[in-house]
């Protein structure tokens, strides 16, 4: 085992790297800090951490919080890209800190970490998500049915299920909504995430609330605010084609076919 | 609440920058139309006044402005077609990036010959 490991270990570069050793490097993080009790506005603070090639930005944030400055605040729960808590702006782009490897965001230069844009900052990297969830609630993200309940399951064909498969992947991290230039300037806009979750039910063959949801999204602050900048599609950590979903909702409104 | 006054610029890609350029070229064309309506309306006041204004336009600064006007018209028109494709063609959102580069290529193809001819006339007359 050691023989093969030594042969394949090309990343070490040092004298005699041990098998399985991951190379480490020093990386600088420039983090936007804001303490509502003492600060009037955000400011930058820099930290240096020793990171490994396998480390994610979240690991670096943990190192800072646990070993250097316990006052640093950020959200994270599962730390594995499922809960959607740690969306932040890393090097100018919305990403999940737990899904972004440090080595992939150019660790030679300081890595900037900021809270997501367009929502009120509460402390450091934590923003008030309530406006975001308000828009989500408004599209009624639950199954609406009419008539008597069937005695068996509501059967759906594979093709009907595939119709909205892409938009079922949303984890409500707000990376899309807070990457949208329209949302930055107009907080009343529903935002990509709410439209994605409306799409998930509008195009579900079992759901009967499509007309109501389309009515809600036909609002001045609804789907027509979208200017197709594709920032949301680029930002989505689940790879949802967000802009495409929004365009499908627009077209459903134009043709009344869904 | 804290404002991101010292925040970094969001690093959007082709989609965001084409939208920014579309906005800017749109506003510039709108402002041009103001001036254009006014100077054209002068012909109703007196043809001589109109000719005088047209004569005043014949200098290199306005010449460069005209090149900018044509650039704005070409980009706005081609990107407008791209947006129509994104809105009404089912595969538009998927190929928006390729469409953007098609717009860039179309822009160069249309604008380069015009710029060469127009600017030689402006600067050699």
- ipTM score assigned to the predicted complex: 0.84
What domains appear along chain B, each with residue ranges and CATH number?
4-123 (1.20.1300.10)
Nearest-by-Cβ selection for A41 from B2, B11, B87: B2
The pLDDT value given to residue A15: 57
Give the chain A residue whose CA is nearest to the CA of B10: A92
How far is Cα A11 from Cα A53, in angstroms, rounded to an integer? Answer: 10
Determine the pLDDT at residue A23. Answer: 84
For A247, name the nearest residue in chain B, comparing CA atoms only: B87
Q: Which residue has the higher pLDDT, B3 or A103?
A: A103
Which residues, listed in sequence order, are joined to residue A24 by a DSSP beta bridge?
Answer: A52
Give residue B77's pLDDT band: very low, low, confident or very high (50, 70, 90).
Answer: very high
Which of B16, B3, B11, B12 is closest to A115 using CA atoms? B3
Phi and psi at residue B56, in whole multiples of 5°?
Answer: -65, -25
Contact residues on chain A for B11, CB-CB shorter than 8 A? 91-93
**Contact check, Cβ <8 Å, B6/A251:** no
Give pLDDT, residue A16: 58
Residue A233: how many CA atoms within 13 Å on its side-chain side? Answer: 22
With an 8 Å Cβ cutoff, is A117 touching chain B?
yes
The pairs formed by B113-117 with CB atoms below 8 angstroms and a separation of 24 or more are: B114/B67, B114/B70, B115/B67, B115/B70, B115/B71
pLDDT at B8: 82
What residue of A is the nearest CA neighbor of B88? A251
Chain A residues with CB under 8 Å of B101 CB are none
- Rounded (10°) angle between helices B60-88 and B96-124: 160
What contacts B46, CB < 8 A, 6 or more positions away? none
Beta bridge partners of A28: A48
Structural tokens at position B35:
């001036």
The tokens for B99 are 């469409």
Report how far residue A138's alpha carbon sits from residue A53's, in angstroms, rounded to the nearest whole number: 42
Per-residue pLDDT at A14: 52
CB atoms within 10 A of CB A254: 10
Residues A91, B11: C-beta atoms closer than 8 Å? yes
| Chain A residues within an 8 Å CB radius of B100 | none
In terms of Cα–Cα distance, which of A45, A53, A75 is closest to A62?
A75
Yes or no, beta carbons of B96 and A227 under 8 Å apart: no
- List per-residue pLDDT tens for chain A, 258 residues long: 444 444 444 444 455 557 778 888 999 999 999 999 999 999 999 999 999 999 999 999 999 999 999 999 999 999 999 999 999 999 999 999 999 999 999 999 999 999 999 999 999 999 999 999 999 999 999 999 998 889 999 999 999 999 999 999 999 999 999 999 999 999 999 999 999 999 999 999 999 999 999 999 999 899 999 999 999 999 999 999 999 999 999 999 998 877
Alpha helices in chain B (DSSP H): 14-45, 47-56, 60-88, 96-124
B8, B15, B93 member nearest A231 (Cβ): B15
B17 to chain A: nearest residue by CA?
A: A229
Report CA-CA distances (Å) from A136 to A142, A172, A191, A207, B121: 11, 9, 9, 17, 58
HSE, CB side, 13 Å, CA atoms: give it for residue A99.
21
A150 interface with B at CB cutoff 8 Å? no
Quickly state the pLDDT bin for B2 (edges 50, 70, 90): very low
Q: What is the pTM of this model?
A: 0.87
Closest to A196 in 3D by CA, of A239, A257, A256: A239
Determine which helix (DSSP H) or strand (DSSP E) holds B59, and give its type and residue range.
Answer: none
Asked if B12's CB is within 8 angstroms of A247's CB, the reply is no
Question: Of A243, A145, A153, which is closest to residue A199 (Cα–Cα)?
Answer: A243
Q: Inspect the interface and report whether the beta carbons of A234 and B87 lie closer than 8 Å.
A: no
- Beta pairing class for A43-52 and A24-33: antiparallel
> Mutate which of B90, B93, B95 to disrupt the A interface (most A C-beta within 10 Å)?
B93
User: Would you tell me which residues 26-85 of chain A have a C-beta closer than 8 angstroms to some C-beta of chain B?
Assistant: 32, 34, 36, 39, 41-44
HSE (side-chain half, CA atoms, 13 Å) at A21: 15
Helix A192-202 vs helix A242-255: angle between axes, to the nearest 10 degrees? 60
The stretch B117-125 carries a mean pLDDT of 88
Nearest chain B residue (CA) to A33 = B2
Residues 166-185 of chain A with CB under 8 A from chain B are: 179, 181
Nearest CB among B8, B15, B87 relative to A229 is that of B15
The number of CA neighbours under 13 Å toward the Cβ of A243 is 26
Torsion of CA B30, B11, B18, A173, to 10 degrees: -100
Residues A230, B15: C-beta atoms closer than 8 Å: yes
């Amino acid at each position: 085992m050691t023989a093969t490991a030594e042969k394949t270990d090309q990343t070490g570069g040092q004298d005699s790297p041990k098998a399985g050793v991951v190379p480490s490097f020093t990386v600088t993080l420039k983090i936007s800090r804001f303490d509502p009790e003492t600060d009037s506005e955000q400011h930058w603070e820099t930290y240096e951490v020793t990171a490994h090639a396998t480390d994610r930005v979240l690991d670096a944030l943990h190192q800072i919080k646990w070993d250097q400055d316990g006052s640093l605040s950020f959200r994270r729960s599962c730390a594995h890209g499922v809960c959607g808590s740690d969306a932040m702006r890393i090097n100018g782009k919305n990403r999940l800190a737990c899904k972004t490897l440090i080595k992939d965001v150019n660790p030679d230069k300081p890595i900037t970490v900021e809270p997501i844009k367009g929502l009120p900052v509460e402390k450091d990297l934590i923003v008030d998500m309530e406006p975001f969830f308000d828009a989500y609630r408004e599209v009624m993200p639950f199954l609406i049915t009419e008539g008597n309940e069937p005695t068996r399951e509501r059967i759906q064909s594979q093709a009907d299920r595939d119709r909205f498969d892409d938009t079922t992947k949303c984890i409500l991290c707000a990376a899309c909504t807070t990457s949208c230039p329209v949302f930055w300037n107009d907080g009343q806009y529903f935002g990509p995430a709410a439209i994605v979750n409306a799409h998930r039910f509008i195009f579900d063959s079992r759901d009967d609330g499509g007309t109501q949801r389309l009515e809600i999204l036909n609002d001045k602050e609804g789907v027509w605010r979208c200017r197709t900048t594709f920032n949301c599609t680029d930002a989505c950590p689940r790879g949802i084609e967000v802009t495409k979903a929004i365009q499908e909702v627009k077209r459903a409104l134009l043709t009344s076919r869904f | 609440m804290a404002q991101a006054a010292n925040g970094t610029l969001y690093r959007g890609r082709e989609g965001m920058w084409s939208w920014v350029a579309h906005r800017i070229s749109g506003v510039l064309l709108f402002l041009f139309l103001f001036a254009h309506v006014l100077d054209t309306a002068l012909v109703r006041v007196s043809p001589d006044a109109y000719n005088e204004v047209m004569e005043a336009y014949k200098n290199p600064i306005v010449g460069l402005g005209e090149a900018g006007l044509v650039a704005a018209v070409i980009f706005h028109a081609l990107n407008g077609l791209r947006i129509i494709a994104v809105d009404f063609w089912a595969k538009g959102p998927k190929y928006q990036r390729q469409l953007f580069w098609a717009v860039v290529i179309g822009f160069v193809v249309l604008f380069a010959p015009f710029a060469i001819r127009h600017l030689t006339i402006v600067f050699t007359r």
